[in-house]
Structure 1
Amino acid sequence: MNVEILARIQFAFTIGFHYIYPPLSIGLGLVMVIMEGIYLKTGNKMYEQMTKFFVRVFALIFGIGVATGIVMEFEFGTNWAVYSKYVGDVFGSALAAEGIFAFALESGFLGVLLFGWNKVRPGVHFFSTVMVTLGSMFSAVWIVVANSWQQTPAGYHIVGEGLKARAEITDFWAMVFNPSSIERLTHVWLGSFLSGSFLVLSIAAYYLRRKRYIEFAESAFKIALVVATVSACAQLFVGHKSADVVAKYQPAKLAALEGHYDGSKPGDLYLLGYVDQKNKETHGLYIPGGLSFLTTGSFKQPLTGLNNFKTEDRPGAVNFVFQTYHLMVAIGMFLIALTLYSCFLWWRGKLFDKKWLLFIFSYSVLLPQIANQVGWYSAEVGRQPWVVYGLLRTSKALSQAVSAGSIIFSLILFTWVYLVLLILFIYLLNKKIKHGPFDEENLDHSPRHIEMADTLA
């Protein structure tokens, strides 16, 4: 493999592993705010204990997320020096804003969130929970703004030529509110809410299947189900708006997402299939003209196809973009169906009667994670061959001195370190879940809690 492919693989690996954790912390933070808010309103100690339990889970996720995120910043300088120089003014502003307005807020209140129980008033602790959650959401704001600028650059001008060229901000707010930032940020937030809420649903379903902490699990399940249902349904509309932005500003990416080659024909909407890149054909089950209808309102309107672009200006891995995008959509539709069906059972008073449904929810935590990952893959690979769309090609953004051997060596090291971190994370998370939300000294002597105590791991 050449240096470009290896550098892209290394960055994709590190950011993919890191991106397991921020969505979980954002989504879990929102669920914790709701849980603690219910405790303040009702005075029910169970919701206080519920919040304490998920705060411990949140702390584990936050710690691993911070540790895995640092590596990417170094990769900008080692593997992507030309890129770093080119976008330094833009990224520097966004990352500085993240540090000042997001990470400082989140980490500043994290100590109160973790250790402030019984040391500060309940209202003050709730405020810290809200601030930590807002900090994690603000962190996503600046990262998505920086990435969205790469997709749809705005508020800049180019200074210098050749290898000395770089983008300078001329309008900070135009850079922040570039054409794709709002839709993409909302899309990321909703995906994060799904990740966090399905983590809670998975843990609660696990307890219910084993008849442990029944009252606790049922209450946590219902809170998370509301968040998951609203987020899943909203994601359908936000995803559509995001696709409209892609259609307007990145037509080559849109064509790759649906494997649309012939620009003289309407775009079909594929439910499943594959792209034959050699023969420039797409096969599968599709709605004729469906993509054209979603984009223009007409089933017969021709759409710009990949054949309208020079070969060097098209995404290289069209089938990969096609498959990852459709997998994201399929998971999204499944989550909508799953949550709406569960809400229907809740309304009928039969939410916890079906063992097969609880079994699905026990492992459902994987689905939003997979959707988040493949969604980013389709967005980033679909942007190729540009690292900054229409301005800087990926092949030109590499460090001039980096070698394939050094990238392979560091990638092997990263793989081992991240594998250890993943095993450690799964082990500690599993240990916290099996231990359960209650300690012996926190239980009263009601029959309900005696049953809970008897089943402690």
Structure 2
Amino acid sequence: MDVLDLSRWQFGITTVYHFLFVPLTIGLSVIVAGFQTAWYRTGKQEYLRMTRFWGRLFLINFAMGVVTGIVQEFQFGMNWSDYSRFVGDVFGAPLAMEGLIAFFMESTFLGLWIFGWDKLPKKVHLATIWLAAIGTNVSAYFILAANSWMQHPVGYRINNGRAELTDIWAVLTNSTTLVTFPHVIAGGFLVAGAFVLGVSAWFLMRRREVDVFRPAARVAMVVSLVAAVGVSLSGHWQAQIMTEQQPMKMAAAEALWEDESSAGFSLFAIGDVENGRNHVNLQIPYGLSLLATNTLDGKVEGVNDIQERYQAIYGPGDYRPVVGLAYWSFRLMIGFGMLSALLALAGLWLTRRGRLPAGKWAYRLAMLGIGLPFVANSLGWIFTEMGRQPWTVFGLMRTAAAVSPGADVPSVAITLVGFTLVYAVLAVIEVRLLIKFIKRGAQEELEPEAPVPALSY
């Protein structure tokens, strides 16, 4: 491997690892705020126990997300200095706004929430967790605005070989951002819903604290279903924008080699990438045209034809991403997301009218289901970023031109191994902390002066 390959691996590993914490933080912050709102309005101790129990898990995940996210920013200077020099004036603006506005907001009010239980009026204390949750989601918006500029550059001009910001409003209202943000937020709620459901299932299987974890599980399943609908709708809009702005990415996702009208949605394909053709392709008729254009006879561009057009526009080169990776990451993303939604739907049926499943299989499926939306989210980002290749900034800068000229193979290799080992240790710490606080349960999360309610099963 050369410096470029190692740098890509390093950034890919740290980014995918960091994004394991992001969607859970996004969704769980709002769920915790919802539980506290229910406690404030009803005064029921069960909601207080839910708030404190899930709040502890949220804080552990939030801390890990902050630690792992900082490493990404270091890499812009260490491994991708030519990229930073080219886009810094544009890319830095939304990131600076994220730090000065959103992260400052979420961290400040989260601190007030942590230490304000016995010091702030209940209404003010409730406001702090909501403001922290809002800050978390606003933070995601600014970061996605920066990423969306790489997918679809707007509001800039090229001056002396650098991109200079000319319209921050255009960057913040980028059409790519406007469809990506709801998709990512809905994905975050899908992750949080599966997490709350899986942890609750562990307690319900043992018939522990049913008065707390059955309502939590029901809330989680509703959240998951609503989020699944949101993911589907926003994903449909995102596919249309992607077809318009990055047709090569959509063509690779469908292994579509030639321009085609009334194109089918591929379910399973075996092809010859080198010669640009499929040997086997099982399709849903008209499905791709409907997804990409909202019409049954819409035209969708193919990989071979786009390659020819891009060579005419950008010069000689291979503008195809890794087609197999784009194709399967797109399908598996959809598949794992659908499985998560089906699991939530089945759970709502099994727990209707106060019921709980008698056998353990349902609980075990729910616990295994925690991983489904995590995998779907990770595959979605792998598809988004790998499908853009060979571009770092689409149409403006290729990835090969973005790597630091001063970086060498030994230094990047050493830091790659080092980061991977550190992240492995952090993963062990994260899991052990979560297991420790999960096993403690929600019983001790009562207010000190409140009597412990009798539990009947």
TM over 0.5: yes
Aligned-partner Cα distance in 2 for 1:123–1:301: 53
RMSD: 1.9
Shift of 1:348: 5.7
Is the counterpart of residue 231 in structure 1 residue 227 in structure 2?
A: yes
Q: Deviations over 1:245-277 (max 9, x none)?
A: 001111011101111101145432122344431
Shift of 1:435: 1.3
- Decide which moves more: 423-432 or 341-350: 341-350
1:286 to 1:110, Cα distance in 2 relative to 1, 3 A:
same
Runs of 5+ in structure 2 lacking a partner? 309-316
SS in 1 for 2:89: helix
Residue correspondence of structure 1 range 206-245 to structure 2 within 5 A: 206-245=202-241
Equivalent residue number for residue 66 of structure 2: 66
Shift of 1:316: 3.1
Residue correspondence of structure 1 range 141-156 to structure 2 within 5 A: 141-156=141-156
SS in 2 for 1:448: coil
Q: Which amino acid aligns with 1:150?
A: M
Aligned-partner Cα distance in 2 for 1:246–1:409: 36
Is the Cα–Cα contact under 8 Å of residues 22 and 136 in structure 1 kept in the other structure? no
Equivalent residue number for residue 435 of structure 2: 430
Is the Cα–Cα contact under 8 Å of residues 55 and 113 in structure 1 kept in the other structure? no
Aligned-partner Cα distance in 2 for 1:420–1:154: 40
State the percentage of identical aligned residues. 37
Aligned-partner Cα distance in 2 for 1:373–1:421: 18
Q: TM-score, normalised by structure 2?
A: 0.93
Equivalent residue number for residue 400 of structure 2: 395
1:270 corresponds to which of 266, 273, 277: 266
Is the counterpart of residue 448 in structure 1 residue 455 in structure 2?
A: yes
Equivalent residue number for residue 314 of structure 2: none
**Total equivalences in the alignment:** 446
Is the Cα–Cα contact under 8 Å of residues 194 and 373 in structure 2 kept in the other structure? yes
Aligned-partner Cα distance in 2 for 1:220–1:246: 37
1:197 corresponds to which of 165, 180, 193: 193
1:446 to 1:60, Cα distance in 2 relative to 1, 3 A:
closer
- Decide which moves more: 111-120 or 61-70: 111-120
Aligned-partner Cα distance in 1 for 2:359–2:263: 41
Q: TM-score, normalised by structure 1?
A: 0.93
SS in 2 for 1:402: coil
Aligned-partner Cα distance in 2 for 1:353–1:42: 31
Equivalent residue number for residue 76 of structure 1: 76
1:349 to 1:43, Cα distance in 2 relative to 1, 3 A:
closer
Higher relative contact order (CA 8 A, sep 6+): 2
Aligned-partner Cα distance in 2 for 1:121–1:446: 24
Runs of 5+ in structure 1 lacking a partner? 452-457
Shift of 1:92: 1.2
Is the Cα–Cα contact under 8 Å of residues 239 and 291 in structure 2 kept in the other structure? no
SS in 2 for 1:271: strand
Is the Cα–Cα contact under 8 Å of residues 252 and 321 in structure 2 kept in the other structure? no
Is the counterpart of residue 371 in structure 1 residue 371 in structure 2?
A: no
Q: Deviations over 1:325-377 (max 9, x none)?
A: 11001112222322233334445654545642222111211111101100000
Q: Which amino acid aligns with 1:339?
A: A
Aligned-partner Cα distance in 2 for 1:291–1:301: 9
Shift of 1:284: 4.1
Aligned-partner Cα distance in 2 for 1:382–1:205: 37
Q: Which amino acid aligns with 1:241?
A: W
Is the counterpart of residue 310 in structure 1 residue 307 in structure 2?
A: yes
Aligned-partner Cα distance in 2 for 1:446–1:149: 54
Q: Which amino acid aligns with 1:95?
A: L
SS in 2 for 1:168: strand
Aligned-partner Cα distance in 1 for 2:284–2:353: 35
Q: Deviations over 1:286-305 (max 9, x none)?
A: 21332013223444444210
Aligned-partner Cα distance in 2 for 1:255–1:217: 45
Shift of 1:112: 1.8
